[in-house]
Each structure stands twice: as C-alpha cells, then as structure tokens.
C-alpha cells in the first residue's frame, strides 16, 4: 500500500472534503448555485451573498475542526490593530485604497498585478533569499477593506529550483511578519491545510500558510466584520429553517 507524498495528501484531503461541503452548501443556497451551468445565469446571487458564502467558508475552514479555544472572543474594547502594509489598513475606504494605490504606483513601488486577488504587485528586492513577488487585492464589504489575501512567491521559482519552493519561503515570510506584526504567532496543524501560522490582535487576524509549491498565502481578516457576517448568515439559516405556517 503506497502512501502518497505529503503535499499531495494534503491537496487530496481538502479537495475530497470540499466535494462533500459543496453538496451541503448547495442544499442551503439552492438557486444560488445553478445546477445546469457554471456560467452565470440572471439569477446568480448578489455579490454580497457570494462574499458572505466565501467568508463563512473561509472562517469555517479554520475553526470548525479546530480547537474551539482558537475562536476569537469579542469584548467591548477591541483594539485598533488594523494596519496591514504599505499604508493600507482594515476598514480602509475603497476610494482611499485606490488613491493609495495610485500614489504608490506613481512612486513606482507597485504595479498592476495579474488580476483577481493578485491585482497589485509589489516586488521585494531585499531581505529575502531571492527577489520575491508580493501580490494582493482586498475584498471589500460595504466599500471598506474587510479582508486582504496576499501571495508571496520567489521570482526565480521553477519546478527544479527546490530552494525557491514555497515551503522555504514560508519560513522567511514568517520571520518578516514577526518583526512587523509581533512575535506571538501560533502554529496549528490544520487537518487539511497543514501548517498554518496565525495571530490575532484586536480586530485583525493573520493567517499564513503554504498554498502550493509556488505560493505562500497570507490572509488578513477584520474579525469584527467577520463576526457580523457570521451572525447574518446564522440568522438567514434560522429563518430558512423556520416551519412555514
């Protein structure tokens, strides 16, 4: 009986489980995911519903099968730890984000990235084993930054340049993050994602992990907004499950 290499094992695990999860979500969301086409129909869910689903999905990923002590507790006095990088912060207005991007672009610090969640590219020349590409683009809720996914990869990545694979880059990014955001990152061994380094300060949660051989992924999340979205989701679920008269 042959055991599949570790990285493939991880991918296969989460892919298989996603199959099961998707079928459950389809029961909940019904027409939000049309069965007959993966292209959009006119009845495709509003953008916010999609964000809601993705957000809860991401939140559940990290917390549903983990130690519940990891769940954030929201007291009345959340700190203002909302800063990200390059002058961006959680809760930043969308317009301010684009204005900041324009300024950074004029200073030639950032360029247009490939697109999607990697719309903006920042090249890090010094401080790493080799030049690193940092790409990011926020998710906006109510036209404010709710979440900021970031990817890191060595420019010199190639299948044969094993020294530049993401597993090595992760250690370097983590060290940089400790300097910037504080030392107290914790490590969990997530059943599907493998090693995930995380830190929570006030409203900001940082997750850091290997996405695949090439990319390290960081996700900065506004926990206050996430909590609100979760409450809205739970409310919508309970309304759906109410017996009809």
Alpha helices in 46-162 (DSSP H): 47-63, 94-106
Size of the chain in residues: 245
User: For another protein, which is the closer residue by CB, 44 or 85?
Assistant: 44
Least spacing, CB of residue 182 vs another protein, in Å: 22
User: For another protein, which is the closer residue by CB, 79 or 102?
Assistant: 102
Least spacing, CB of residue 71 vs another protein, in Å: 14
Least spacing, CB of residue 172 vs another protein, in Å: 16
> 207, 97, 183: which is closest to 144 by C-alpha?
97
User: For another protein, which is the closer residue by CB, 133 or 203?
Assistant: 133
Angle (CA) 209-211-213 rounded to 5° is 115
User: For another protein, which is the closer residue by CB, 90 or 117?
Assistant: 117
Q: How many C-alpha atoms does 182 have within 13 Å on its Cβ side?
A: 14
Whole-number Å distance between alpha carbons of 141 and 144:
5
Least spacing, CB of residue 103 vs another protein, in Å: 10
Angle (CA) 166-84-209 rounded to 5° is 25
Least spacing, CB of residue 197 vs another protein, in Å: 13
User: For another protein, which is the closer residue by CB, 3 or 238?
Assistant: 3
Whole-number Å distance between alpha carbons of 33 and 36:
9
């Amino acid at each position: 009986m042959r055991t599949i290499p570790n990285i493939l094992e991880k991918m296969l695990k989460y892919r298989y489980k996603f199959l099961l999860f998707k079928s459950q979500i389809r029961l909940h969301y019904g027409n939000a995911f049309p069965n007959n086409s993966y292209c959009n129909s006119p009845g495709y869910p509003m953008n916010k519903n999609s964000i809601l689903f993705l957000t809860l999905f991401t939140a559940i990923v990290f917390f549903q099968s983990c130690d519940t002590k990891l769940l954030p507790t929201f007291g009345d006095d959340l700190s203002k730890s909302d800063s990200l990088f390059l002058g961006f912060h959680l809760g930043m207005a969308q317009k301010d984000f684009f204005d900041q991007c324009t300024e950074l672009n004029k200073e030639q610090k950032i360029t247009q990235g490939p697109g999607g969640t990697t719309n903006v590219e920042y090249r890090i020349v010094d401080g790493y084993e080799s030049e690193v590409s940092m790409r990011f683009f926020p998710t906006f809720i109510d036209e404010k930054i709710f979440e900021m996914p970031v990817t890191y990869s060595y420019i010199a990545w190639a299948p044969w340049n094993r020294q530049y694979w993401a597993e090595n880059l992760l250690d370097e990014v983590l060290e940089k993050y400790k300097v910037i955001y504080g030392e107290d990152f914790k490590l969990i061994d997530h059943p599907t994602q493998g090693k995930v380094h995380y830190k929570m300060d006030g409203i900001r949660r940082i997750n850091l992990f290997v996405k695949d051989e090439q990319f390290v992924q960081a996700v900065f999340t506004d926990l206050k907004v996430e909590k609100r979205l979760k409450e809205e989701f739970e409310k919508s679920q309970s309304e759906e499950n109410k017996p009809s008269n």
